Amino acid sequence: MTTNSAVREFKMPDVGEGLTEAEILKWYVQPGDTVTDGQVVCEVETAKAAVELPIPFDGVVAELRFPEGTTVDVGQVIITVATGDAAAAPVAPVAEAAPAAAPAAEEAEPEGRQPVLVGYGVSQGASKRRARKAPAGAPAAAPVAAAPAPAPVIPAPAAPVSLNGNGHAPAGERPLAKPPVRKLAKDLGIDLAAVVPTGPGGIITREDVHAAAAPAPAAVAAAPAAEPVAAPVAAAAPAVDAAARETRIPVKGVRKATAAAMVGSAFTAPHVTEFITLDVTRTMKLVQELKDDPDLAGLRINPLLLIAKAVLVAVRRNPEVNASWDEANQEIVLKHYVNLGIAAATPRGLIVPNIKDAHAKTLAELSQSLSDLVGTAREGKTSPADMQGGTLTITNVGVFGVDTGTPIINPGESAILAVGAIKAQPWVHKGKVKPRQVTTLALSFDHRLIDGELGSKFLADIAAVLEHPRRLVTWA
């Protein structure tokens, strides 16, 4: 990282396995600011999640190489820092350029700091953060003129500052908020400095941001709503002219990665989709009984839990479905473990984290794993490792009121099960037409790995367990 004894370069790190680029969402420092080892200097968005990057050395910021909103390849220099004796050079000009700025407050060393990335830096958590030397909207060109940087500075653009609802940069200490909350505020045009925090330790929560946005419903109404699928991306797009006939939305981050993966899967794995409609009245009754069971108190019990368990039972009866295709070696790789993927819709797009070794978990352990998976995904904290190594996936389209669909297999996996809405419908039960709880399952599978007979048996076994959930015991 060192270019010479005075100026050190910080490169875009590899923040996740297989990721090659990241978008700079926000800079938390400006040229002339003093930084310390472990201090968060910017927030970036990869194809998987938003991550705060801490600087690994002390010094004074000499140059920001890229403005906010720029997608940068891993390994490119994004910021340079003057260290040692050279660090004193830019300090005086900064003070002259911004005499009204408050000096940076000394930062207490937080206890129990947790790593943001494995083997790289730490997260500041809820501890106090160093205040900026100058407002975020201050011109960046003046202090850089005296900095010993080898290349001219790209000044921080004024546009991101305009995202603050009141049109000015926050003063004093940087407001405390998690990356998903900062992204939400940016999308809604809310200045975090003007938001009243209600979280522990003065942390701003999602509810605080929504409360701050409530007085301005007109801004929300201006967002395009023509295509529900594009909503997560459209929310992050610039304001749209109501008279415009078209709107162009940059494809990046999670949506870009998802698009590439789905195209690759659709045109690599020969898909076959089969459907089955079934009576799940008994399963719904069991869900209620389990909710009332004191042995499961405190656990999240829902239909998805029993559907996941039914899939695991069906895999045990049809182990050949749990496999992958090795193109290089022309081999089918049978997996003796099940990493069960659960498709999750998040503000950043669709992600598919998986429960490792789901086949070995009890019902209570599976419930806890599902709760942890969903909670982490909603907070935008799902790590790249959590989304790798899946063997097959469940996607619950029923939560949107959809009856069924033809899902695309997650790359590298063998199958994906779509669960439709569970509705009361007329059904022939014991020779009479009665209202019963009915749903439709759709199983898409890779025909290189699973032929029609095996796929049909697998889907039929899942349905059989859900129709008569006692098979969770008799078939286990």
Mind listing the pLDDT tens digit for each residue in 368-378? 999 999 888 88
Contacts of 199 (CB under 8 A, 6+ apart): 205, 208
What percentage of the chain carries pLDDT values higher than 70?
70
Give the pLDDT of residue 200: 72
377 neighbors 344 (Cβ within 8 angstroms): yes
- Select from 40, 5, 12 the least CA-distant residue to 26: 40
Confidence of residue 83 (pLDDT cuts 50, 70, 90): confident
Provide CB contacts within 8 A for 388, sequence distance 6+: 17, 18
Looking up tokens 């063998």, which residue turns up? Answer: 414
**Pairing label, strands 392-396, 340-342:** parallel
What does the block give as tokens for 84?
């040692």
pLDDT band at 350 (very low <50, low <70, confident <90, very high): confident
Residue 394 to residue 284: CA distance in whole angstroms? 18
The answer, yes or no, to whether residue 357 has pLDDT greater than 80, is yes
Residue 161 pLDDT greater than 50, yes or no = no
For residue 467, give the H/E element and its range.
Answer: helix 452-467
What pLDDT digit, counting tens, does each position of 89-99 carry? Answer: 544 333 333 33
Active site residues: 447
Segments of 215-358 assigned E as strands: 271-279, 323-326, 331-334, 340-342, 344-346, 349-351, 354-355
- CA dist 436 and 424 (Å) reads 5
Q: Which residue has the higher pLDDT, 196 or 361?
A: 361
- Report the candidate in 363, 371, 320, 325 with the shortest Cα–Cα distance to residue 344: 371
DSSP H or E stretch at residue 63: strand 59-64
**Residue 278: DSSP 8-state:** E
Strand pairing category for 77-82 and 59-64:
antiparallel
Q: Please list, in sequence order, all residues whose beta carbon lies within 8 angstroms of the beta carbon of residue 362, skipping any fewer than 6 positions away.
A: none
Q: Per-residue pLDDT for 246 more than 70?
A: yes
**Integer CA distances (angstroms), 355 to 157, 162, 169, 258, 297, in order:** 42, 41, 42, 20, 22
Q: What are the residue ranges of helices labelled H in 343-387?
A: 363-378
Tokens 């003046």 found at = 142
Predicted pLDDT at 366 = 97
Nearest to 67 by CA among 180, 174, 160: 160
> Cα separation of 349 and 340, whole Å?
19
Going across the sheet that includes 77-82, the strands are 7-11, 77-82, 59-64, 34-35
Whether residue 165 is predicted with pLDDT greater than 80 in this model: the reply is no
What are the φ/ψ torsions at residue 456 (nearest 5 degrees)? -65, -40
Q: Would you state the structure tokens that stand for residue 170, as one six-digit string?
A: 């926050």
Write the DSSP symbol of residue 47.
S
pLDDT in tens, 20-75: 788 888 899 999 999 998 898 998 877 666 778 889 889 999 999 999 888 888 88
The pLDDT of residue 197 is above 70? yes
Rounded to 10 degrees, the C-alpha dihedral 303/306/308/311 comes to -130
Percentage of the chain with pLDDT > 90?
A: 43
In one letter, which amino acid is 103?
P
pLDDT at 198: 82
Per-residue confidence at 178, pLDDT binned at 50, 70, 90?
Answer: confident
Give the closest residue to 24 by CA, choosing from 61, 81, 77: 77
Residue ranges of domains in the chain, CATH in brackets: 7-168 (2.40.50.100), 255-474 (3.30.559.10)
Distance, CA of 248 to CA of 246 (rounded, Å): 7
Confidence of residue 117 (pLDDT cuts 50, 70, 90): very low
334 to 155, 315, 337, 412, 417: CA distances (angstroms) = 54, 12, 9, 12, 19
Whole-angstrom distance, CA of residue 174 vs CA of residue 128 = 9
